[in-house]
Structures are given as structure tokens and as C-alpha cells.
């Protein structure tokens, strides 16, 4: 079934790594001058309609990476990864954003991580904005704030960091924050949810637009001011959550729906940062609702990335809602009049269930997705910046690090299809497992576990799962 995959199936220079983000693993939420972040505040809200975080916990301590970073770098070395993707905590480096100065202790912390990674032969791969920002400002108006943060990161770390992501998952985070209200700042409207403020049909469009423009400004700054003077020949990209969509029924309507779903998915951001404008499929559906770029912004946006970052986990069926009955939330312009599901109209599942809604194991979807991206975007270099599966066993065996066979099979099969896409001609340069270790999974808290390493409750000891041992042997 495509599980026979070897390191030799990939070129010697191919990057194999693991990924995390600051709020999800660091802890140390109020130490050494760190400011209060949007998620520090969000996890303390009582009585908002979603009932706050599912397990009532927060990232105050998380995996305590802030104090255990050397131990974590050593486990990376023991696995044998050659690249580590992590994010810079905005509120640790700039506690008050543009309203205050740089926190030297925050800069020192990330300098220690970068320097020790390089000493161990691991390439640092830095995400600038990963869902966390100082609580004093509102990311609906993200713009100069992100440019200031990006410049601070480039200035202090750009001499050693070769790979940069400006923003992680701009579309998904806008959906979660401003359509569904599940992420900070919890804004939404019916039928998507019942928040106290927000407009689910409009705000995701505006917030994603502002992030894309902010990315373009940061990219120009990096290329004009920092890349030329750096000795690391840096590369800058952006990444988004990257589902593959296939027709639910063998009809022209559903084939067109799958094309729309891809445009409203990976196309939303990547068309903008490569071609300089939104996908025509989106503009046809949304019309005047779709924000527009000025001519100056289009120039900034076009080819503003050196690589495409893809966070790919799963594949779904797409059903047309223009000529078929659909749910109220799907039958809307913001969703492209597409209903997505893991089950088609004949009751056939697209792949193995994981227990999480709309997350099915479909290894071939990785290959089809990479082929799609290579075709649509003129074979621009691709890096798989996240791919993983969470523990989804029916019993408490999910807490047994040895009982990790499904995670191993997931990575084996998805990697086999990465190799196949490369043989088809896709220019894939790297692959990162989400995640290095179990962590705080945003609104879901600690209940779902994606890590190669288990983090023991209480002691926070790192225990390798079978997948960590497999990855080590594979590498």
C-alpha cells in the first residue's frame, strides 16, 4: 500500500525535520519580561460561548520548553532530524508590540535555541507569526505591527536563519478566529456560532487580506534589507493548511466544486503571493465582497515567496451546493458554495477515520495535493511544513508510547506519496512532522496528541513513542 519508503528515495540534501510553535510548547508565560499574549488572555476567559479551551487548560506551562530547550534539542539530535521548525513568541520578543521596546531576554532565548541547533547540525526554520501576538492590539488590523515584528526577527536572527515563514495558516486561523469563534478573539455570527461580536461572512475575508498584505511588506523588507547582506542565502515563504479536495460524486457540478474548494483552500493565499491577486474562482463567487489589492500591493505580492509551505494532513470530498441541497454553513459565498465531508453521498468513507471531524487518513491525497500545487504554481519549490496524525486509539493504550503503530504507518504512507510526487516532477525540498512532542493544541487543549515524543503529565518527561524510533531508523 505504498508503505515501503526509504531515506534513499529522497535526495541527500532533502530536509527532514519536526515542527512546533511557541505558545504550544514554551510555557514561561510571564517570565523574563514576556508580555501578555492574546492566548494568555483567551485561556483565562470564563463564560464565553465556547466554554473556553476544551480541557480547561492553557499554555502557561505547556511542555516547559522555555526551561528545557537544551533537552529538546538533544532529542532532536538523537532522532537525526536536519531541520527544526519553531516560531518566535511575539509577546516574548516585543511584549507591547509597536508600543514598547525589545525584550532582550526574549532575544537571548531564541539566540540560544538557534546557536545550539546549529552546533548540533540542525537548520533552524523560523515562523514569525504563529497564531500568537501581544494582547494589546487587535489582529484584525495586522499590518505595520507585523512588519515591525518581522524586522526585529530578521535583524537579530537573520545572520543564522536560512528558512523563514512569515505567517502560519493565515486562512485557517481567520476561519477559526473570525468565522467559528473557536480561537482568540472569538468573533463569529450565526449560523457558524453565537459569539457576542463578529460577522462570519465578512471578517475572515478582511483579516486574511490584511495578513497577506502584511506578508508582502515583510517579504520586500527581507529581500531589500536583509537577504542581500546575509551569508546564509535565506529563503522566505508562507504556509497554509492544505487540504486536498476530490469530487463527492462523478458529476461536473462536484468536479467544479472540488476546483472551487482548492481555490478557497490553498489558492486563497498562494495565488495572491505568487500571481499577485486572488483566485478567479473566489472572485467569481464573492464578487464585491472580496477585498481588492491596490496596484502597488499587487506588485509587492507577485512572487513574494521563495517556497510554498504546505501543512497537509487529510483529504475530503467536495459537493456542489449551487444545484444541490447542503448544510446552512456550506451554502454560503464564504465557503464557495461547497460542502466538504469525509463521506460521500453513497456512504463511502474517503479513508480511515481518526475520531476528529474531517480528519481522515488518505495517503494518496498527499501526492495529488503536491502535484496540484506544482502544476498550479509553475513548480515553485515546496516544503511540507507540517504533516502528522494524533493518537486516535479507542482505549487508554493511546497513552502507551509503544502503541504507536498507526502513527508510524501514517508517516510511512504519506512519505511514500511525497516521494511519488517528486518522481512525477514536484520540486519538494523538505518534510516536517507535526509535532516533535505532544503539546497544547489550541482550542482542543492537551487531549489530542500529535507528538513523536509523549510529554508525561506532571513530570513533563519526554518519552519517545514508536514513531520517534521509526523516524530515527528511517533517517
What pLDDT, on a 0 to 100 scale, did the predictor assign at position 109? 99
Q: Is the pLDDT of residue 2 over 50?
A: no
What pLDDT, on a 0 to 100 scale, did the predictor assign at position 46? 58
Per-residue pLDDT of 123-144, as tens digits, reads: 999 999 999 999 988 777 678 8
Q: Is the pLDDT of residue 184 over 60?
A: yes
Q: Mean pLDDT across the stretch 349-366?
A: 93
Task: Using alpha carbons, select from 153, 147, 145, 137 the residue that is nearest to residue 22.
Answer: 153
Q: Mean pLDDT across the stretch 51-65?
A: 80
Q: What is the mean pLDDT of the chain?
A: 93
Q: Is the pLDDT of residue 394 over 90?
A: no
Q: How far apart are CA 338 and CA 245, in angstroms?
A: 10
Q: What is the pTM for the complete model shown?
A: 0.96
What pLDDT, on a 0 to 100 scale, did the predictor assign at position 400? 61
Q: How far apart are CA 116 and CA 125, in angstroms?
A: 13
For residue 188, the tally of other CB atoms under 10 A from its CB is 26
Per-residue pLDDT of 234-273, as tens digits, reads: 999 999 988 999 999 999 999 999 999 999 999 999 999 9
What percent of the chain has a predicted confidence (pLDDT) above 70?
95
What pLDDT, on a 0 to 100 scale, did the predictor assign at position 231? 81
What pLDDT, on a 0 to 100 scale, did the predictor assign at position 53? 67
Which candidate in 123, 281, 339, 386 is catalytic? 386
What pLDDT, on a 0 to 100 scale, did the predictor assign at position 471? 98
Is residue 386 part of the annotated active site? The answer reads: yes
What pLDDT, on a 0 to 100 scale, did the predictor assign at position 333? 96
Is residue 169 part of the annotated active site? The answer reads: yes
What pLDDT, on a 0 to 100 scale, did the predictor assign at position 401? 58
Q: Is the pLDDT of residue 381 over 90?
A: yes
Which candidate in 132, 169, 297, 441 is catalytic? 169
Tell me the pairing of strands 123-129 and 235-241.
Answer: unpaired
What pLDDT, on a 0 to 100 scale, did the predictor assign at position 55? 65
Q: How far apart are CA 392 and CA 450, in angstroms?
A: 10
Q: Before 40, cis peptide (omega within 30)?
A: no
What pLDDT, on a 0 to 100 scale, did the predictor assign at position 230? 79
Q: Is the pLDDT of residue 48 over 50?
A: no
What pLDDT, on a 0 to 100 scale, did the predictor assign at position 242? 87
Contact status, residue 205 vs residue 274, Cβ threshold 8 Å: no
- 198 class by beta-carbon count within 10 Å (0-12 exposed, 13-18 middle, 19+ buried): buried
Per-residue pLDDT of 92-123, as tens digits, reads: 999 998 889 999 999 999 999 999 999 999 99
Task: Using alpha carbons, select from 289, 265, 293 the residue that is nearest to residue 365.
Answer: 265
pLDDT band at 307 (very low <50, low <70, confident <90, very high): very high
SS3 assignment for the chain: CCCCCCHHHCCCCCEEEEECCHHHHCCCCCCCCCCCEHHHHHCCCCCCCCCCCCCCCCCCCCCCHHHHHHHHHHHHHHHCCCEEEEECCHHHHCCCHHHCCCCHHHHHHHHHHHHHHHHCCCEEEEEEECCCCECCCCHHHCCHHHHHHHHHHHHHHCCCCCEEEEEECHHHHHHHHHHECCCCCCCECCCCCCCCCCCCCCHHHHHHHHHHHHHHHHHHHHHHHHHCCCCCCCEEEEEEECCEEEECCCCHHHHHHHHHHHHHHHHHHHHHHHHCCCCHHHHHHHHHHCCCCCHHHHHHHCCCCCEEEEECCCEEEEEECCCCCCCCCCCCHHHCCEEEECECCCCCECCEECCCCCCEECHHHHHHHHHHHHHHCCCCCEEEEEECCCCCCCCHHHHCCCCCHHHHHHHHHHHHHHHHHHHCCCCEEEEEEECCECCCCHHHCCCCCCCCEEECCCCCCEEECHHHHHHHHHC
Torsion angle in degrees (nearest 10) through CA of 243, 246, 248, 254: 110
The CA–CA distances, whole Å, from 107 to 89, 93, 101, 102 equal 10, 6, 12, 8
What pLDDT, on a 0 to 100 scale, did the predictor assign at position 4? 87
Task: Using alpha carbons, select from 1, 5, 9, 65 the residue that is nearest to residue 411.
Answer: 5
pLDDT band at 54 (very low <50, low <70, confident <90, very high): low
Q: How far apart are CA 461 and CA 355, in angstroms?
A: 27
Contact status, residue 268 vs residue 325, Cβ threshold 8 Å: no
Residue ranges covered by each domain of the chain:
244-311+315-361
Amino acid at each position: 500500500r505504498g508503505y515501503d519508503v526509504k531515506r534513499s528515495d529522497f535526495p541527500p540534501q532533502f530536509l527532514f525535520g519536526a515542527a512546533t510553535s511557541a505558545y504550544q510548547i514554551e510555557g514561561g508565560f510571564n517570565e523574563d519580561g514576556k508580555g501578555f499574549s492574546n492566548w494568555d488572555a483567551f485561556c483565562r476567559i470564563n463564560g464565553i460561548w465556547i466554554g473556553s479551551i476544551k480541557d480547561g487548560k492553557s499554555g502557561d506551562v505547556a511542555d516547559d520548553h522555555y526551561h528545557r530547550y537544551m533537552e529538546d534539542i538533544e532529542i532532536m539530535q538523537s532522532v537525526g532530524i536536519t531541520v527544526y521548525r519553531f516560531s518566535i513568541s511575539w509577546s516574548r520578543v516585543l511584549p507591547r508590540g509597536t508600543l514598547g521596546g525589545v525584550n532582550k531576554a526574549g532575544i537571548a532565548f531564541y539566540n540560544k535555541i538557534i546557536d545550539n541547533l546549529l552546533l548540533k547540525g540542525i537548520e533552524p526554520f523560523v515562523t514569525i507569526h504563529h497564531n500568537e501576538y501581544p494582547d494589546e492590539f487587535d489582529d484584525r488590523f495586522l499590518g505595520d505591527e507585523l512588519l515591525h515584528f518581522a524586522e526585529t526577527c530578521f535583524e537579530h536572527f537573520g545572520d543564522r536563519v536560512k528558512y523563514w515563514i512569515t505567517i502560519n495558516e493565515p486562512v485557517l486561523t481567520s476561519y477559526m478566529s473570525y468565522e467559528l469563534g473557536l480561537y482568540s478573539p472569538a468573533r463569529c455570527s450565526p449560523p457558524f456560532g453565537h459569539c457576542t461580536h463578529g460577522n462570519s461572512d465578512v471578517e475572515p475575508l478582511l483579516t486574511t487580506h490584511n495578513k497577506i498584505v502584511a506578508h508582502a511588506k515583510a517579504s520586500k523588507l527581507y529581500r531589500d534589507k536583509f537577504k542581500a547582506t546575509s551569508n546564509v542565502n535565506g529563503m522566505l515563504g508562507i504556509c497554509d493548511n492544505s487540504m486536498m479536495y476530490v469530487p463527492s460524486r462523478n458529476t461536473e457540478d462536484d468536479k467544479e466544486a472540488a476546483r472551487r474548494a482548492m481555490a478557497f483552500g490553498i489558492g486563497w493565499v498562494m495565488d495572491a503571493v505568487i500571481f499577485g491577486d486572488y483566485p478567479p474562482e473566489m472572485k467569481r463567487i464573492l464578487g464585491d465582497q472580496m477585498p481588492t489589492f491596490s496596484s502597488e500591493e499587487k506588485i509587492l505580492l507577485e512572487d513574494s515567496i521563495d517556497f510554498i509551505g504546505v501543512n497537509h494532513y487529510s483529504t475530503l470530498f467536495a459537493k456542489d451546493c449551487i444545484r444541490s441541497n447542503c448544510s446552512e454553513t456550506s451554502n454560503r459565498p464564504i465557503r464557495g458554495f461547497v460542502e466538504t465531508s469525509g463521506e460521500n453521498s453513497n456512504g463511502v468513507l474517503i479513508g480511515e477515520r481518526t475520531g476528529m471531524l474531517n480528519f481522515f487518513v488518505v495517503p494518496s491525497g498527499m501526492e495529488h495535493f503536491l502535484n496540484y500545487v506544482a502544476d498550479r504554481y509553475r513548480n515553485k519549490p515546496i516544503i511540507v511544513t507540517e504533516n502528522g496524525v494524533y493518537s486516535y486509539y479507542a482505549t487508554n493504550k493511546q497513552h502507551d508510547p509503544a502503541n504507536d503503530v498507526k502513527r508510524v504507518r501514517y508517516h510511512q504512507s504519506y512519505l511514500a506519496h511525497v516521494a511519488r510526487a517528486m518522481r512525477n516532477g514536484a520540486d519538494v525540498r523538505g518534510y516536517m512532522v507535526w509535532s516533535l512532542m505532544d503539546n497544547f493544541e489550541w482550542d482542543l487543549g492537551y487531549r489530542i496528541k500529535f507528538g513523536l515524543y509523549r510529554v508525561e503529565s506532571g513530570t513533563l518527561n519526554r518519552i519517545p513513542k514508536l514513531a520517534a524510533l521509526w523516524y530515527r531508523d528511517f533517517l
